[in-house]
Amino acid sequence: MVFAENLISNLFYGALLGSIYGVATMGLSLIFGVLRIVNVGHGAFIMIGAFTAFWMFTLYSLPPVAVIPIALVFGLAIGFIAFQAVIRRLVDAPELSTLLATFGIGIFIEELAKLVWGADYVGFSWDIGTLYLGPITVSYSKILAFFCSVLVAALLYLWFTKTKLGNAIRAVVQDREGAVVCGINVNRIFALSFSIGIGLTVLSGVLVTLFVPVGINVYMGGDYTLKAFVISVLGGLDSPWGAFIAGFLFGLFENGSYAILGLIPGVEPFALTRFVAFAFLLIILLVKPTGLLGGGE
Amino acid sequence: MKIRSYKPLLPLFLIYALLILIAVAVPGMWQPVAFFMFYVALGQAFNIFMGLTGYVDFGYVAFLGLGAYGMAIAIKYFSSLGLISILLGILLAVVMSILLSLAVGAVALRLRGAYFAIATIGVNEGFRYLIEGVRLWGGSEGIVLSGLMRRTFGRETANLLSTFFSDILIIAIAILAAMTTIWILNRKMGYALLALREDEDAARVMGINVTKYKIMAFITSASFAGLIGAVAWTLKLTYVFPEDVFNIHYTVEAIVIVMLGGAGTLLGPVVGGLIYGVLKYYLSVVFPGIQLLILAPMLILTIIAFPEGIVGFIKKKGKKSRISYYLR
Amino acid sequence: MPLLELHRVTKRFGGIVAVDNVSLEIDEGDAIGIVGPNGSGKTTLYNLISGVYFPDNGRIIFDGKDITFLPAHERTPLGLARTFQIPRPFGSASVRENVAIGAMFGRAKLDVESALDIADHYLSIVGIEKLAEKEAKLLTPLEKRFMELARALAMKPKLLLLDEVMAGMNPADVDRIIEVIRRVKDEERIAVVSMVEHLMHAITRFAERVVVMHQGKKLVEGKTLDVLNDPRVVEIYLGKRVV
Ligand SMILES: Nc1ncnc2c1ncn2[C@@H]1O[C@H](COP(=O)(O)OP(=O)(O)OP(=O)(O)O)[C@@H](O)[C@H]1O
Ligand SMILES: [Mg+2]
């Protein structure tokens, strides 16, 4: 009985958190889809978003919800700078170069952040009440985080499907050469997509703090990078929508298995959950490297 | 086999000899040189896989970690054998790394580029969390050996093991890695790897069994990593914590060294390792804590400005001159 | 016994049937030209023979051995060699090393030293011996094609598949290539299959037999001149007489 209640509340929690995982992975998938670049430094941008929320709250008492658009703009700017300074020069370089370069960018951002903000864990408390629903106890800020995530994903979807620019990006994902023939300025699309990808990722960092407002640290991103890899592979690697849905599934899976693994005596369920996640990643890669939700061959 | 094809070892051994001379002759230089040699060895080991195949293994540190555990287990559980437990540890480190590399190779080496890189991160992290999750080998508390080593080997010997023999072994590993690299480069395997690094599909059509050669390079590189882990961690530091030995940080260092010196070249990792080691050693004195802040832009700059690395660059410039005999 | 036998081979990509139920026999020392409009399945046919793809249906027999599902690297040593429509040099290796790699892993199976030695011989056969030391990625597209031909020859194949080697070459270069093809065919009994899309006049000069591909199917096969004057062939080439 306790277990059932535990599982239910964990799954509920997982679904909420999963939506944030989804948004936190969309940027990675967008960048891979358009530029064929895996942003190995992904998590560093989530960290930037988290710190943005923290400082805006601490310095100006701005609630995280209000920081979302600020983080987006901030992220777009960082993304644009990173593209102009580094990525632009590597668009046609071998995969090795882009993997290592994004890796380097991530480390650079983390170390810079450490220099400015220090290596301590920080957090804040934005209390807007708690929901009690049977076995489920969850703060409203987490529910708000969920709705914000869904809204962000929905707006992005509309932008992609209804605007000319959004369609141009999708065309480049589908067929880069074809898009060039159709007169699409691919370099502009690259710059735009990279900026949007990073913008989304920084924004997702705010959502993360809305959900878990503590444990903010310059090295918090590594964990999210790894999760984002698992999720994006699950979602097909080049599809932001696949990533969003996969994020949900991952949230459910992660929190559900935590409840289950906790039943095994003598293990550390937290570490083991992660082990299961990575084992899962390898299995997907082996069985269907294009992702469970991705297309055919 | 013509002697000429082994000439490139000359400058390399010259560098090694010079370093050893400095270590012995200049007071206080033994430890710094040992520190440099660790990076030289790490670069050589990593280069055998990443440099020669063009695949990035972000989870490379898993092999170092496993080697460290191999040595720790041998000392902990076979201390009754006395110093033989060290030999056993070296053996165990290599065997365990080979086993893991076979498993990872079978899974991940079917994948290419980005997918491979992601899979290797998964392996490393998964492995670490498995150790912590099921409390294997001491779980997150790791294995601490200093007391045990003093009791079994005696204070003097234990001290000598960690401050002298481990360094000698690292130098030996660096020499062995260099000889292995040139041996590979001079054989069909070297040409097969060169081909598959450039164009894997074309290589297959050329009759090259790409999977076989990739796995061979992977296993070789992993065994060296296991050796380095056993010697430079367990033997030198006398403890193993999963958080430390599976830290992706060491993979970054290996990548920077290989790229800086020149991926796929013989001399590159030596030059890269030396520059990196020296910079890190003295930077950490001058600017403690910000080495990575300096290293990251260095890596990015290298990739953009001269992706072939220092040795690759010189090799290209010196193509027509006599130098080229000594560079690979 | 024919050297290569394709038996009702089919390859689909999604909805497209790139190669549709094609049967073909090639004997030792044959010189065959394959023609057909863009997208008619010529390159795919080569990919099936060399093992880049496996067919959905049909069998491929080479030298008496069923190679239908043999991995590419295992069929090459049996005596297959090909060039690529878009050249694929091993860019950071020198031209000599590129050719030597062919000699090491193809049917020739030479050791490293002999392969590097013999590479120069093949470079001079195709007339680019001066480029031996050059990094392959620095070659012009045309030079890359010569290098690919040398690399394929160094493999000592029994069957040589050339994918548009002559496209974009001037008449003197075309002459040189045809000369090389004739020579290896006569001296080493290598069967040469060459696809020539635009240079129809070239095909009459070396091909004894011509196969015409159209929408994945083998439309016609026969003696060169007969085929090129076949009304169906004339029709798919925009109603113009080709020769
Ligand atoms: N890997 C692939 N995936 C999907 N479709 C493919 C693939 N390879 C070939 N095709 C399709 O199969 C058909 C035949 O292509 P193929 O390249 O064999 O033609 P081709 O005769 O060589 O043409 P060309 O003269 O343009 O070289 C085309 O419609 C092509 O788009
Ligand atoms: Mg073609």
Q: Are B97 and B226 contacting, i.e. CB atoms less than 8 angstroms apart?
A: yes
Query: Which of C13, C161, C162, C212 to probe ligand 1 with, by most ligand atoms within 8 A of CB?
Result: C13
Domains of chain A: 2-287 (1.10.3470)
Q: Would you state the pLDDT for residue B280?
A: 83
Instruction: State pLDDT tens for residues A230-259.
Output: 888 888 778 888 899 999 989 988 888 888
Instruction: Say whether pLDDT at C101 is over 90.
Output: yes
Tokens of C31: 């010189």
What pLDDT, on a 0 to 100 scale, did the predictor assign at position C17?
93
Give C 100-129 residues with CB within 8 A of chain B: 100-102, 104-107, 111-113
Q: What is the pLDDT along chain B (328 residues), one digit of tens a residue?
A: 566 678 888 888 999 999 999 988 999 899 999 999 999 999 999 999 999 999 988 889 999 999 999 999 998 888 888 788 889 999 999 999 999 999 888 878 888 877 888 888 888 778 878 887 777 887 777 888 888 888 888 888 888 888 888 999 999 999 999 999 999 999 999 999 999 999 999 999 999 999 999 999 999 999 999 999 999 988 888 888 887 888 877 887 898 899 889 988 999 999 999 998 998 888 777 777 777 788 789 889 988 988 888 888 888 777 666 666 666 7
**Quick check: B204 and C101 CB within 8 A?**
no
Alpha helices per DSSP H over B109-234: 113-133, 146-153, 155-160, 166-186, 188-198, 200-205, 210-228
Instruction: Supply the angle between the helices B113-133 and A221-235 in degrees, to the nearest 10.
Output: 120
* Count of C-beta atoms within a 10 Å radius of residue A283: 12
User: Nearest Cα to C59, choosing from C88, C21, C86?
Assistant: C21
Ligand 1 centroid, distance to B207 Cα (angstroms)? 23
The domain spans of chain B are: 4-18+29-326
Nearest-angstrom CA–CA distance, C160 and C140 = 23
Structure tokens at B232: 């430079």
* DSSP one-letter string for C40-78: SSHHHHHHHHHTSS--SEEEEEETTEE-TT--HHHHGGG
Chain B CB contacts of C72 under 8 Å are 204-205, 207
* Domains of chain C from N-terminus onward: 1-79+157-243 (3.40.50.300), 87-156 (no CATH)
| Domain B4-18+29-326 architecture | Orthogonal Bundle (1.10)
Rounded Cα gap, residues B148 and B54, in angstroms: 42
pLDDT tens-place string over residues A71-111: 999 999 999 999 999 999 998 888 888 888 998 999 999 99
Instruction: Count Cα atoms within 13 angstroms, Cβ side, for A18.
Output: 23
pTM: 0.86
Note which residues in 183-242 of chain A have CB less than 8 A from chain B.
222, 226, 229-230, 233, 237
Report yes or no: C84 at the B interface, CB cutoff 8 Å: yes
pLDDT number for residue A296: 38
Contact state of B194 with C92 under an 8 Å Cβ cutoff: yes
What residue ranges line ligand 1, CB within 6 angstroms? C 13, 16, 18, 36, 38-44, 85, 197
CA dist., res. B124 & res. A279, Å (int): 11
Separation of alpha carbons B18 and B37, rounded Å: 12
* CA dist., res. C60 & res. A223, Å (int): 50
Q: Which residue has the tokens 């403690």?
A: B288
